[in-house]
């Protein structure tokens, strides 16, 4: 890594844009490798000046607060943290100067990386792959969007390490090297506040396989119609294509029938394992995640029997159709990670007995019209709307002419949400938080929103005797 960074930064003015956890880890690595190198730190947060590492570093040049983004024009190479919008870049700034920690990491370790992206399912799938590999005797580490910046994992990496990376669209924007095994699970509308248009978001996702070579693998869901179309229309690439599907495939790939999971390669079909209730995660969307993980782990050399055993022991992740508890005969579930309508629809289908659905949050302008006709036959009795996205959903539903038939409520905070839910939800049914919207209006992230919801459920709902 030292040789790579030296080659890219030699003779250049270098800045780190964004000093959150990933930006801090970029600073720490570069400073440890090059103690005398001048480093610009650019961030809107003026409190960063109190950081003890920065305040004691004479080679750190801080550009903080209002107007700091104009300083980007003075730098030749900018290591950008994910999630910082292009809208904040100053006029005249050349985006070719930008790289990212993910891009640098993949240039160094890409041949050891299993990269996972998709609008939904990437956290569950990357965690499941890591779990299968670890249970099967491989040295695996889990990095990226799921919580640990790539540079923080470097001390654990050996030549035998398999690196599983959850990759957001933001992390994929400035790649010049793709992972050896790349998984693209699905593409739906999201992050429209960050990208110029939906097509730009799609292309960011497709970057995960754009820079592969003939010995690399591109795994994708052929059940996602848009994704299937994008793969078909993409430029001829060198990688090995491996689709997976919940239905039989005409091409090579991994697919499911009613009773088993199969691998089809070069004209031969092999059964990997039988489908059984012990394969833990509920719902068709989760079985699609299992199929993606199985495909990646098959390439990595895990036997079918070890995969089946590991999948059976996987417990799923917090804030993903998570059971909170039963209070006064009402079961409460937390699916705070659902930030698009497609994810909410899948959660309702999985749980089936949803009596009350909580919708809304920060409005990023995504299209909710797929949700409204679904509500007609969903069996849901009550809808509780919250936030600006909730207000828009409520308005669009009421003016759409669709007679969904639910009682409609509006809340200003999550204490009110739970008060309404416990009053209107019929005993024996489920109250589900699956908001189909981002959390950034009231919360730091979807995890924070889920924790607040769970706290209010446990505090304000009367325990079932």
Q: Could you tell me the domains of the chain? A: 2-93 (3.40.50.720), 102-313 (3.40.1190.10), 322-460 (3.90.190.20)
The residue assigned the tokens 């693998």 is 217
- Residue 160: pLDDT band by 50, 70, 90 thresholds? very high
Give pLDDT, residue 253. Answer: 92
Average pLDDT for 413-432:
97
Task: List beta partners, residue 183.
Answer: 116, 219
Q: What are the Cα distances from residue 133, in Å, to 137, 164, 200, 267, 304? A: 7, 10, 33, 27, 12
Residue 362 token pair: 């920060």
Reading phi first (left if > 0) and then psi (alpha if -120 to 50, else beta), residue 216 is in beta
- Residue 283: pLDDT band by 50, 70, 90 thresholds? confident
pLDDT digits (tens, 9 = 90+) for 99-136: 999 999 999 999 999 999 999 899 999 999 999 999 99
pLDDT above 50: residue 464 = no
Instruction: Look over the chain and give the mean of its residue pLDDT values, rounded to a whole number.
Output: 93
Say if CB 144 and CB 166 are below 8 A apart. Answer: yes
Give pLDDT, residue 107. Answer: 98
Provide the angle, in degrees to the nearest 10, between the axes of the packed helices 225-233 and 198-210. Answer: 60
pTM for the model stands at 0.82
pLDDT digits (tens, 9 = 90+) for 162-194: 999 999 999 999 999 999 999 999 998 775 666
């Amino acid at each position: 890594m030292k040789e790579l960074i030296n080659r890219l930064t030699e003779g250049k003015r270098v800045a780190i844009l964004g000093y959150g956890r990933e930006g801090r880890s970029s600073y720490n690595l570069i400073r440890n490798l090059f103690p005398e190198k001048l480093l610009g730190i650019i961030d809107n947060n003026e409190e960063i000046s109190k950081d003890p590492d920065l305040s004691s570093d004479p080679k750190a040049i801080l550009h903080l607060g209002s107007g700091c983004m104009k300083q980007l024009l003075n730098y030749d190479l900018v290591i950008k943290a994910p999630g910082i919008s292009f809208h904040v870049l100053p006029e005249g700034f050349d985006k070719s100067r930008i790289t990212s920690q993910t891009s640098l990491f993949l240039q160094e370790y890409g041949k050891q990386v299993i990269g996972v992206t998709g609008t939904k399912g990437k956290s569950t799938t990357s965690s499941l792959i890591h779990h299968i590999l670890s249970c099967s005797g491989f040295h695996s580490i889990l990095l990226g969007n799921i919580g640990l910046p790539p540079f923080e994992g470097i001390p654990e990496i050996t030549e035998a390490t398999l690196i599983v990376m959850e990759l957001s669209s933001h992390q994929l924007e400035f790649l010049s090297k793709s992972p050896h095994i790349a998984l693209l699970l699905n593409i739906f509308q999201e992050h429209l506040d960050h990208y110029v248009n939906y097509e730009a978001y799609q292309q960011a996702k497709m970057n995960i396989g754009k820079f592969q070579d003939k010995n690399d693998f591109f795994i994708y869901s052929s059940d996602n119609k848009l994704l299937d179309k994008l793969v078909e229309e993409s430029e001829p690439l060198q990688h090995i294509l491996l689709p997976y599907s919940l239905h039989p495939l005409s091409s090579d790939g991994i697919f499911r029938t009613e009773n088993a999971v199969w691998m089809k390669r070069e004209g031969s079909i092999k059964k990997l394992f039988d489908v059984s209730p012990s394969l833990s995660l509920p719902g068709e969307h989760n079985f699609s995640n299992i199929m993606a993980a199985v495909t990646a782990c098959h390439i990595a050399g895990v036997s079918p029997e070890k995969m089946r055993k590991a999948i059976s022991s996987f417990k799923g992740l917090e804030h993903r159709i998570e059971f909170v508890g039963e209070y006064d005969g009402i079961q409460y579930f937390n699916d705070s990670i659902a930030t698009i309508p497609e994810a909410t629809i899948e959660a309702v289908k999985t749980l089936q007995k949803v009596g009350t659905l909580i919708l809304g949050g920060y409005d990023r302008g995504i299209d909710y019209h797929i949700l409204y006709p679904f509500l007609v036959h969903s069996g849901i009795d009550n809808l509780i709307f919250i936030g600006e996205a909730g207000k828009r959903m409520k308005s669009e539903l009421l003016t759409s002419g669709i007679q969904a038939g639910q009682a409609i409520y509006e809340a200003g905070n999550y204490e009110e949400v739970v008060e309404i839910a416990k009053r209107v939800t019929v005993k024996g049914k489920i109250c589900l938080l699956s908001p189909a919207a981002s959390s950034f209006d009231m919360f730091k992230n979807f995890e924070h929103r889920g924790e607040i919801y769970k706290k209010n459920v446990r505090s304000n709902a009367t325990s079932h005797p």
